[in-house]
């Protein structure tokens, strides 16, 4: 391990993201999900944009050229993702939400094959199936009757929809964004997403411009500074130094940290959550290549890329 501080930053990043599930659930018990989400990203944009400008600059010409896809990413990956996540957490547990979001890396591989025409190997398909099985176990609570009746929790389905939005956000830049760095894309989409969420909140939430109660304000500040600004900066640093594939494995720590934090908060862990977590984590490890099989299993599957 040549850079222990970088690995520590990546571990702390996943801890912050795990904590966001619990902190967000606490915040939306005090204020509306749209209120919490809007002020989270307004705060994040206010800190992140000056940092991006100092580090890499803000190329306005390239941003205007990429404006349509950046706005789409903001609508899907910031507005859509956070509304789905926050409203979903009103109806499901923070641990369940983290476990379902752990399906995201495998889902990203599938969308990358469809949108970016990247070949999907047999190993990746196996990982996708295992992760999907884990998500199904979690949202069905391990009940065959629930699965057969298709009576899933609305909160679980909303979080799953949010995971789809985040995966879409993640794969769009490779094919459609030109002339902007990863950090510049992150800063511009967070700023645009904050503006979209603020516009929606101003219309829907009557008390949007009123200061929140102190506990909610602390929760929102934590999500802004630790769950958005610091986490994005450290994650991007890891991607730049280690590569996206190596860094992606760290996201498997999110559901584990979320479960441990839940235990510290007095929550119980059901067997379905443990089984689902095992399937999701194994699926993601296989999908990202952390667990490898024979060369035959790594051959591309042409049908998945048509």
Cα distances (Å, whole numbers) of residue 75 to 17, 85, 94, 251: 21, 14, 24, 23
% pLDDT > 70, the chain = 84
- pLDDT given for residue 301 in this prediction: 44
- Answer whether residue 72 shows pLDDT above 50: yes
Tens of pLDDT, residues 96-136: 787 777 777 777 777 877 887 767 677 767 776 777 777 77
- For 14-62, write each residue's pLDDT tens digit: 899 889 989 998 998 999 888 998 999 999 999 999 999 998 998 999 9
- Determine if residue 180 is left, alpha or beta; phi over 0 gives left, psi from -120 to 50 gives alpha, anything else beta: beta
Give the whole-angstrom CA distance, residue 133 versus residue 226: 31
Going by C-beta distance under 8 Å and a sequence separation of 6 or more, which residues neighbour residue 193? 41, 74, 75, 77, 78, 79, 82
Mean pLDDT, range 241-259, rounded to an integer: 70
pLDDT of residue 217: 94
In angstroms, the CA 236 to CA 109 distance is 19
On the question of pLDDT at 1 being above 80, the answer is: no
pLDDT computed for residue 6 by the predictor: 84
Across the chain, what does the average pLDDT equal? 81
The answer, yes or no, to whether residue 294 has pLDDT greater than 70, is no
Tell me, what's the pLDDT at 245?
53
H helix or E strand, kind and range, residue 126: helix 122-139
- Count of CB atoms within 10 A of residue 2's CB? 7
Looking at the chain, the whole-number percentage of residues with pLDDT higher than 90 is 26
- Rounded distance, CA 85 to CA 48, Å? 22
């Amino acid at each position: 391990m040549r850079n222990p501080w970088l690995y520590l930053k990546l571990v702390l990043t996943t801890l912050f993201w795990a904590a966001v599930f619990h902190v967000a659930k606490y915040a939306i018990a005090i204020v509306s999900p749209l209120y919490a989400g809007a002020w989270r990203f307004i705060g994040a944009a206010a800190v992140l944009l000056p940092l991006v400008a100092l580090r890499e600059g803000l190329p306005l010409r390239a941003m205007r050229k990429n404006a349509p896809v950046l706005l789409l990413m903001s609508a899907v990956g910031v507005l859509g993702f956070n509304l789905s996540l926050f409203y979903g957490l009103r109806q499901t547990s923070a641990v369940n939400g983290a476990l379902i979001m752990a399906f995201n890396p495998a889902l990203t591989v599938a969308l990358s094959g469809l949108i970016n025409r990247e070949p999907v190997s047999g190993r990746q398909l196996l990982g996708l199936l295992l992760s999907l099985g884990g998500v199904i176990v979690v949202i069905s609570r391990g009940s065959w009757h629930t699965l057969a009746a298709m009576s899933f929790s609305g909160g679980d389905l909303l979080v799953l929809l949010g995971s789809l939005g985040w995966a879409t956000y993640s794969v769009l830049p490779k094919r459609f964004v030109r002339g902007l760095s990863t950090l510049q894309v992150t800063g511009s989409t967070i700023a645009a997403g904050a503006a979209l969420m603020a516009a929606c909140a101003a219309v829907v939430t009557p008390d949007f411009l009123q200061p929140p109660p102190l506990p909610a304000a602390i929760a929102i500040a934590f999500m802004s500074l630790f769950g958005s600004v610091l986490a994005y900066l450290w994650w991007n640093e890891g991607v730049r130094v280690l590569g996206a594939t190596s860094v992606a494995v760290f996201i498997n720590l999110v559901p584990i940290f979320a479960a441990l934090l839940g235990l510290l908060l007095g929550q119980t862990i059901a067997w379905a959550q443990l089984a689902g977590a095992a399937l999701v984590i194994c699926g993601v490890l296989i999908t990202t290549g952390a667990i490898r099989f024979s060369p035959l299993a790594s051959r591309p599957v042409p049908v998945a890329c048509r």
